[in-house]
A and B are shown apart, each in its own frame.
Chain A
Amino acid sequence: MSYQANEKGYYGDFGGAFIPEMLYPNVEELRSQYLDIMKEESFQKEFKDLLRDYVGRPTPLYYAERFSKKYGTKIYLKREDLCHTGAHKVNNTVGQILMAKRLGKDRIIAETGAGQHGVATATVCALMGIECIVYMGEVDIERQAPNVARMKMLGAKIVPAKSGSRTLKDATNEAIRDWINNPIDTHYIIGSVVGPHPYPDMVARFQAVISEEIKVQLKEKENRENPDYVVACVGGGSNAAGIYFHYLDNPEVGIIAVEAAGKGIQSGESAATSALGKEGIIHGSKTLLMQTEDGQITEPYSISAGLDYPGVGPMHANLFRSGRGEFISITDKAAMDAGQELAKLEGIIPAIETSHALAIFEDRKFKEDDVVVINLSGRGDKDLSTYIDYFDL
């Protein structure tokens, strides 16, 4: 059995395309062409050139010596924080803007929560000279002012999502509604491995460059392609999909997914979807999601704006249900402490999302000679005000 998507876009029981008929032509146009386009030599060349020259890939695989020593195991950091725009998100937006061009689209829409995906989308739209509209929850616009300013500077139009809870899930709803209203000229760049098929698979393939590079880099450093574990934080799960991708069907490599417990799983303020979610439909995908008994989608909580999505990508739902992935949840406090610790031990200030993945070592013990690769998915500049408030810096 493979942990990759099958041709209908299912990962085990999860995935598919549960979309209204109004979206069917848009999604079908993409579904019927995305694999062929990605296989084209000219596409691959353009994608790789941009990742190298514009994004700054390959990103380093860094052996974190002092951090490793503290926890008595060998910890490598995959430095996605060094990508242009400060996170792995841009790998996907570069891929999708090239896809949009080949599909003949001249208008781009995107959703964003914390603003990282919005910035990565606005960036590639500026690069290609394509119109960019970013939907963002009214609540998020207020609390993520610097990213709103960055998107504006890059020429994107920000549209506030005023419906429902006015956060990421509602921004996603608004982007989908825009796509329904503009079926011909518009491509929707989804930022994570969520949404209807083919999005989870397509986004995972664009992020797969992360594990592709690790295989080569680890060979140089450890004379082996396979680490014992790959670790990533999971909101929707795009950075996780990227670091797992080439190891999904390799049982020698353990997969660890780290979710945001918020103030504690039972606190009522959490985003730990695997623990709290039930099977359902969100944004066109069958997956695990946080919802009421009545099937109304609820608003998650995490100190990290990038992890508070009420669902999880169908790939990860399947990794959880099948037992292939080990799921760990980390509280706000443990994540903040781990971020502080990495800064002091390695001179790297991580994004708070990433800090969750770094926090597992307090409780999850590894063998001394285990090789553990963590996806350092983003840098902490965008979170500085949260760190300042939290630690009273």
Chain B
Amino acid sequence: MNRINKKLQEEQKMLSIYFTAGYPEPEDTVSIIQDLEKNGVDFIEIGLPFSDPLADGPTIQESSTKALKSGMTTNKLFEQLKGIRDSVEIPLVIMGYFNPILQYGVEKFCKKCAETGIDGLIIPDLPVDVYNEEYKSIFEENGLQNIFLITPQTSEERIRFIDSVSNGFIYMVSTASVTGSTSGFSEETRDYFKRISAMKLENPQIVGFGISDEETFNQATEFAKGAIIGSAFIKHLNANGKDNIADFVKNIRPV
């Protein structure tokens, strides 16, 4: 069984952290992953930096630009992650835009992910219909789960379709926004959480966008299986460096 499915069977609400590979420093990738696991994080999304990240707000954009400037590449990420499964057990997902993966070669990329011990991919600008027609078999051959996004505007019919194509979890975007741009959830957003929960989808949902602290984490996971934190973690790294990851995790989910 894929590590993602196994993890999702556990009782607790999932805390998932996103960070940009090669940030703050090019060689920080592995130690940040190890630290996050040590501090009890359930999932990690490793951001593959891209020059033009359409769905991301300023915080993640800047971290990507900086990582690229200091020489981060797809090859370098795979080199860094070589042997990661000797020290890390939790599910690892790569989140990246489609163009760098297309240039690397989708099949080669998926093979490399499988060799490295990556469990899934989140590719925001690879639409579900294109994935379904052209790439699904490649992902499956390599044991990779592709994670799709839904938003408050996604129609019920489309959510059902996405659910039928998914086999890990569904990434539920909390509000119509780019990453890092909201503070606190409105009544309307919580109604959306309830509405999706009531659909009783096959795949559990993990909420992302707008989660930055214990309160928003708890609100997001009231109806969903877990939540993803990205921009807030990058901001923490900016302010505190990578030595205080324990504090950050404790502030979200006190032991």
- B58 near A296 (CB under 8 angstroms)? no
Chain B binder among A34-42, A174-182, A240-248? A174-182
Asked if B154 and A281 make an inter-chain contact with CB atoms under 8 angstroms apart, the answer reads no
Chain B nearest Cβ from A171, distance in angstroms: 11
Taken together as a complex, chains A and B put the C-alpha atoms of A164 and B155 apart, in Å, by 33
Which residues of chain B are within 8 angstroms of A291 by Cβ–Cβ distance?
99, 103
Pair A180/B176 contact, Cβ less than 8 Å: yes
- Given the contacts A20-B149, A25-B154, A293 and B176 also touching, CB distance less than 8 Å: no
B100 touches A (CB below 8 Å): yes
User: In the complex where A164-B61, A181-B176 touch, is A296 in contact with B100 (Cβ < 8 A)?
Assistant: yes
A residues near B98, Cβ cutoff 8 Å: 18, 281
**Residue of A with least CB distance to B51:** A296
Of residues 138 through 169 on chain A, the ones whose CB sits less than 8 Å from some CB of chain B are: 163-164, 169
With CB as the reference atom, state the residue of chain B lying closest to A280. B99
Are B100 and A295 in contact (CB-based, < 8 A)? yes
B125 engages A293 (CB within 8 Å): no
Chain B interface category by residue count: 35 or more
Q: Which residues of B contact A164 (CB under 8 A)?
A: 51-52, 61, 65
Partner of B103, one of A163, A177, A181, A278: A278
- B127 near A180 with CB under 8 A, answer no
Kindly identify which residue among A24, A25, A163, A182 contacts B58, using a CB–CB cutoff of 8 Å: A163
Q: Are A295 and B54 in contact (CB under 8 A)?
A: no
Question: Shortest distance in angstroms between A80's beta carbon and chain B's nearest beta carbon?
Answer: 30
B101: chain A residues at CB < 8 Å are: 295
Closest to B49 in A: A296
A22 to chain B minimum Cβ distance, whole angstroms, is: 5
B150 interface residue per 8 A CB criterion: yes
| Chain A 261-282 near chain B by CB (<8 Å), digits 1 or 0 | 0000000000000000011111
Q: Is the CB of B176 within 8 A of A183?
A: yes
Q: Is the CB of B51 within 8 A of A18?
A: no
Indicate with 1 or 0, residue by residue over A347-390, a CB within 8 angstroms of chain B CB atoms: 00000000000000000000000000000000000000000000
Q: Is A297 an interface residue (CB 8 A)?
A: yes
Kindly list chain A residues whose C-beta atoms are within 8 Å of the C-beta of B87: none
The answer to the question of A284 belonging to the interface, with a C-beta cut-off of 8 Å to chain B, is: yes
Any A CB within 8 A of the CB of B221: no
Assess whether B51 is in contact with A297, with CB atoms less than 8 Å apart: yes
Please report the C-alpha to C-alpha distance between residue A173 and residue B100 in the assembled complex, in whole angstroms.
17
Q: Is B153 an interface residue when CB atoms closer than 8 A count as contact?
A: yes
> Cβ of A137: which chain B residues have Cβ within 8 Å of it?
none
Q: Which of A19, A293, A297 contacts B127 (CB 8 A)?
A: A19
A21 interface hit (Cβ, 8 Å): yes
Q: How far is the CA of A170 from the CA of B54 in the complex (A)?
A: 9
The answer, yes or no, to whether A294 is at the interface (CB within 8 Å) is: yes
A297 near B55 with CB under 8 A, answer no
Contacts of A306 in B (CB 8 A): none
Q: Does B166 contact A (CB under 8 A)?
A: no
B124 at the interface (CB under 8 A from A): yes
Interface residues of B (CB under 8 A from A): 50-55, 57-58, 61-62, 65, 68, 73-75, 97-104, 124-128, 130, 148-151, 153-155, 158, 173, 176-178, 181
